Amino acid sequence: MSQCGDCHGCASAAVAELPHPAAVKTVALVGPPNSGKTTLFNRLTGLRQKVANFPGVTVEQHTGVAVLPDGRGVHIIDLPGIYSLSPRSEDEQVAYDVLNGNRTDTEAPGAVILVLDATNLSRHLMLAAPILALGLPTMIILNMGDDLATRGGKVDIKKLSEELGAPVALISARSGVGVDRVFDFLASTMPKPQPKLLPVLQDVPKCREWAGAVGSQASYRAPIAPKWTRRLDRLFLHPVAGPIIFLLVVVGVIRTIFMASAPITTAAQSGFEISGNWVASVLPEGLIRSLLVEGIWRGLGSVLVFLPQVLFLFLFIGILEDSGYLARAALIADRTMARVGLQGKSFIPLLSAYGCAVPAIMSTRTIENKRDRIATILIAPFMTCSARLPVYALLIAAFIPNRPLLGQLVTQQVAALLGLYVIGFLAAVGTAKLLKSSVLKSAHAPFLLEMPSYRWPTVQSLGLRLLDRAKVFLRRAGTVILLVTVVLWVMAHLPYSGGKPPEIGNSLAGTIGHTIEPLIQPLGFNWKIGIGLITSLAARETIVSTLGAIYGMDPESQSVGLQNALRADLSLGGAFALLIFFAFAMQCISTIAVVRRETGGWKWPILQFTYMGVLAYIGAFIAYHVIG
Amino acid sequence: MLQLSGNNAAPEVLQGSLLDLETGDAAVLDRLELPVDDARRLMEMGFLPGTRVIAGYSAPGGDPRVFQVDGSEIALRRETARNLKIRKDSRKSTKPARNL
């Protein structure tokens, strides 16, 4: 990294270079966490974005295309949020390498857009020093300009631009005010910054001093403290009310997922049934009809109807995260984390594991301590992910009456779902304790958590999240689950004898189910559930499509519906055992793959799969015998 | 260990650490008694010697606690706050009002 503070000659060196005539094709978006960088990225690229991983590392690469008024497209890379350019964590290393053009897989950006929080400019300006020192054309965006104004702060943009030697714009990415200035910059020739005297970059106090001086030159007046954030924190972090609200939020979210989506799910279910019957009526009887209607339609349909519930879950996670409440929840929960030897940073991945363990495991990269990171990776799949939701929802709806337990708010069904979330969490916590007191013992790094101001989540950001999750869900349904369903249908129709498929119990699939039956009988499962357990190794929710297909192919249960067919097949104890089994077992190929990649070998995923499997078997055994 | 002092003359008596502050109390950060990497991370977040720090709300039981520093609100655990040594803010000798 260049240290321009020490080299006064850099001024003449930069002047000698002519402005680049060719249009810049790639622009990097840089900024500290919580500066609204991603909101601006969404504004610039809209739906023209994609998420991938930087090859070789586990940092997510968000790229998109901003379309300029003249129709030209500019590639935008949204780099991970960073406080400085001294690379220590993997995130910062990637940002550093991309900006310096050290990565062969990513085109070196021709320009930089630095996004800073206008309400906290003095400190955030520190990041301007190393960014300007790169010598790339740079635009400095002061985001949250609306907050600055309403809270009585101000800044002289022209003066700041002179001080930094680069264009500056005060915008509000949330409302879209001023975003046209960013497009103007992208469409312009993008001049390199005028060389200025920059501080020694390694010296934090010097950088802060420089940032403060630049700020006061631009007559920056910091806004008064956000009134509503204080008021809300007073309530949400109240010693008594705080934890109660925390619990109410968790219960409320789970209740709403279950209740609000129920009518949509029911409607979708009958939609699939009616359309399935219609397809059956127009197609001639035969193998094709059987594959389409009984295999694919019933199988896929029984999973797809849970899309509303999954989207509700991600809607709530999105609202909690974007509003700023999630950081407070992490604060309230930190003591529990500390007690099991984990640091607060483990909390965010664990919370996002309620959505899906795969991104959660990838997000553990922010944990610098390797042992803490592995411990977090190992316990993340215990958190109740959205793929378990269809299984839980199906079994709970089939076996647990919807009677009030604690008033109307907590019915028996809600309590059961809540209990499953708690069981998963306890298993995670217990495993963490075990790991941290044995193989993964380590000293802690300091826990640092920035509390963002409370904000209204925007429809755009929530919408993009939901769209993204819906795509993931449908892609899984259209690939893994579809494939497993078709294979299952084929195996259920072999061996073919006398021009007729066998009875499901005598088919290849049935034989496999019967083979493992002795192993799972102690848990209260029969061979049909056994087939579901095998197919759910690919992805948990596949058991729902499998059972949907099996019962659909079996003439005895064809007409009674999935719930009734299950009730005929499983005792109450067996249903509980199945729920416990799914709470603990690691049935997810994607998670196994991501753990192997993140931990760099097969040792940890094999250990994790075995441990979770044994725990699931023992847990299910106990549940069956206690309740049965 | 890094001992960065923003107070080279040091005429004042040292007053303990951030741990001693209750909600609403203010103090000036004197030094960070932490390994270099940890201290650097904290300084990038605003915990520079000589900076005024106000204790904010905390999780139940007082751990972790939010500190207002340099325009941000950062939560620290007790084990970290213990190592951030302070001198009392001379501008605020009496206990300030609790409602922040």
pLDDT tens-digit map of A551-578: 877 766 666 678 888 898 889 999 999 9
Q: Closest to A204 (Cβ–Cβ): which among B43, B60, B100?
A: B43
**Model pLDDT, residue A623:** 94
pLDDT of B6 strictly over 90 = no
The minimal CB distance from A446 to the residues B6, B68, B80 is found for B80
| Among A173-177, A207-211, A377-381, the range of highest mean pLDDT | A377-381
Q: Which residue ranges form the domains of chain A, and what is each CATH number? A: 10-224 (3.40.50.300), 458-627 (no CATH)
- For the cut 50, the answer to whether the pLDDT of residue A80 exceeds it is yes
B60-81 average pLDDT score: 89
From its phi and psi, is residue A176 left (phi > 0), alpha (psi between -120 and 50) or beta?
left
- Helix A572-584 crosses helix A603-627 at what angle (to 10 degrees)? 160
Q: How far apart are CA A363 and CA A353, in angstroms?
A: 10
* pLDDT of A162 over the 80 cut: yes
Rounded CA-CA distance A167/B27 in Å is 37
Q: Compare A593 and A23 and report the one with higher pLDDT.
A: A593
pLDDT tens across A391-410, in order? 998 899 899 988 887 777 77
Q: Of A326-335, B63-72, B77-86, give the lowest mean pLDDT range.
A: A326-335
| pLDDT digits 0-9 by tens, A465-490 | 788 778 877 887 788 778 877 887 88
pLDDT value for A559? 65
Cβ-defined contact of B41 to A446 (cutoff 8 Å) = yes
H-run or E-run covering A139:
strand A138-143
Domains and CATH numbers, chain B: 18-88 (2.30.30.90)
Say if the Cβ atoms of B74 and A448 lie within 8 Å: yes
Residue keyed to tokens 């995670």:
A428
pLDDT at residue A539 above 60?
Answer: yes
Interface of B with A (CB under 8 A): 4, 6, 34, 37-38, 40-46, 48-49, 56-61, 63-64, 66, 68, 70-77, 79-80, 99-100
pLDDT value, residue A459: 87
| Cβ-based contacts of A445 with chain B (< 8 Å) | 38
Q: Which of A36-45, A53-62, A597-606, B74-83 has the lowest mean pLDDT?
A: A53-62
Q: Which residue has the tokens 């810049």?
A: A24
Task: Dump pLDDT digits (tens) for B56-70.
Answer: 999 888 888 999 998
Per residue in B16-25, pLDDT (tens digit) is 899 999 888 9
Give pLDDT tens digits for A441-471. Answer: 766 567 788 888 898 888 888 888 788 778 8
Cβ proximity of A65 and A48 under 8 Å: yes
- Residue A170 β-bridge partners: A142
Rounded mean pLDDT, A195-222? 84
Calculate the CA B4 to chain-centre distance: 14
The residue written with tokens 């503070």 in the block is A5
Tokens at residue A78, please?
């949204």
Say whether pLDDT at A197 is over 70. yes
Q: What is the mean pLDDT of residues A289-299?
A: 77
Q: Does A237 touch chain B (CB under 8 A)?
A: yes
ipTM of the complex: 0.79
A448 vs B37: CB contact, 8 Å cut-off?
A: no
Instruction: Judge: A447–B44 Cβ closer than 8 Å, yes or no.
Output: no
Percent pLDDT > 90 in chain A is 25
pLDDT above 70 for A368 = no
Three-class SS string for A20-62?
CCCCCCEEEEECCCCCCHHHHHHHHHCCCEEEEECCCCCCEEE
Output the CA angle A113-A114-A117, nearest 5 degrees: 135
Mean pLDDT of B5-20: 64
- Which of A120, A142, A234, A331 to mutate against chain B (most B CBs within 10 Å)? A331
Q: Which two tokens stand for residue A200?
A: 């020694």
A73-82, A153-162, A180-189, A282-291: least confident range: A282-291
